Amino acid sequence: MDLIWSGLREAVAMLLRGDPELWRVTWLTLRVSGTATLLSVLIGVPVGAILALSRFPGRNLVVSLINTGMGMPPVVAGLWVSLLLWRSGPLGHLGLMYTPTAMVIAQALIATPIVMGFTLAGIQQLDRRLSLQLLALGASRWQLILLLIREARLSLLAAVIAGFGGVVSEVGASMMVGGNIQGYTRVLTTATVLEVSKGNFDVALALSFILMALAFGVTWALTLLQQGRRPFGS
C-alpha cells in the first residue's frame, strides 16, 4: 500500500510541476489513440452496418473473423503492421516504421474489429420491421443504413468507448511499431513499461494513475453523450 500511495503522490507532483515530458507523452497518447479510434469508426461503422443488412455466401465466415478480431492480441497486430512497414516490407518505402503514424495504424487495426462487431450487433437487434417500413417509404440503400445507424446510436457509442478502451491501454503493438522513442513515439503505456524495467515503480505507478485518469475522462465524456438524452427507465 505504501508503494501505491507513493505512486499517487508522484502522479500529483508530476502534474503540479507541469513536467513537460509528461504532458508530451500524455498528449501523444491521446492523439494516437484518438486518431486510431476515429479511423476505426470511419471504417467499422459502415462495414458493420452493411454486414448487418446483407446476406451472401460466406457471411457467417466474415462475421466469425470479425468476432475473432475483437479479441486480437495487440502483439499480433503489431507484428503484421511491422511486416508491412519494415524496409523489406511492401510499404517499407514510406518510411513509417517507428513513427506515431505506424502506432495509429496498429491501434486502428486493433480497434476496427471491435467497432465492427458492436455495430453489427447493435443494428441487428433493431426491429426488422423498421427496415421494411423505411424501404416501403422509399428510402434508398444508403439512406436506410444512415437511418438505422441513427437508431442504433447508443450501441455505436458503446462501440466507440470499447474501441478507445481497447487501444489506449495496449502496449505490445505500440512498442513493436513505435519503438518507445523519447520525445517522439513514447506514450503512457510504453513509458510505464520502461519505468518498471528500470525499477522506478513509484514513477510507473504515477504514469499508470495518469493513464487511468485519461481513459476515464474520455470514457466519461462519451458515456455522458450516450446516456445524456435517454428517458428515465428506458
Q: Answer whether residue 234 is part of any domain.
A: no
The count of residues in the chain is 234
66: closest CA among 44, 34, 41? 44
Backbone angles phi, psi at 180, to 5 degrees: 55, 50
Structural domain boundaries enclosing 130: 2-226
- Span 111-159, pLDDT tens digits: 999 999 998 888 888 777 776 677 676 777 677 777 777 777 788 888 8
pLDDT greater than 70 at residue 2: no
The residues near 218 (Cβ < 8 Å, ≥ 6 apart) are 30, 34, 164, 168
Note whether residue 231 is domain-resident.
Answer: no
In a domain, 28, yes or no: yes
Which residues, at least 6 apart from 156, have a Cβ–Cβ distance to it below 8 Å?
45, 118, 119, 122, 149
Does residue 14 carry a pLDDT above 80? no
Q: Taking the model in full, what pTM does it have? A: 0.86
Is 104 or 122 the better-scoring residue by pLDDT? 104
Mean pLDDT confidence for 183-208: 89
130 falls within a domain:
yes
pLDDT at 90: 92
* Residue 120 belongs to domain with CATH number: 1.10.3720.10
Phi/psi region, residue 72 (left: phi>0; alpha: psi -120 to 50; beta: rest), is beta
Question: Does the pLDDT value for residue 31 go beyond 80?
Answer: yes
pLDDT-based confidence at 229, cuts 50/70/90? low
For residue 101, being part of any structural domain is answered with yes
Residue 1 pLDDT grade (very low, low, confident, very high; cuts 50, 70, 90): low
Q: What is the number of structural domains in the chain?
A: 1
Rounded to an integer, the average pLDDT of 101-110 is 95
pLDDT at site 232: 47
What value does the mean pLDDT of the chain take?
Answer: 86
> SS3 of 187, please?
coil
Per-residue pLDDT reduced to its tens digit, 56-98: 898 999 999 999 999 888 999 999 999 999 988 899 899 999 9
Please indicate, yes or no, if residue 52 is contained in any of the structural domains.
yes
Confidence at residue 121, expressed as pLDDT on a 0 to 100 scale: 87
Give the pLDDT confidence score for residue 177 in this predicted structure. 93
Q: Is the pLDDT of residue 101 over 70?
A: yes
- Looking at residue 42, its pLDDT comes to 94
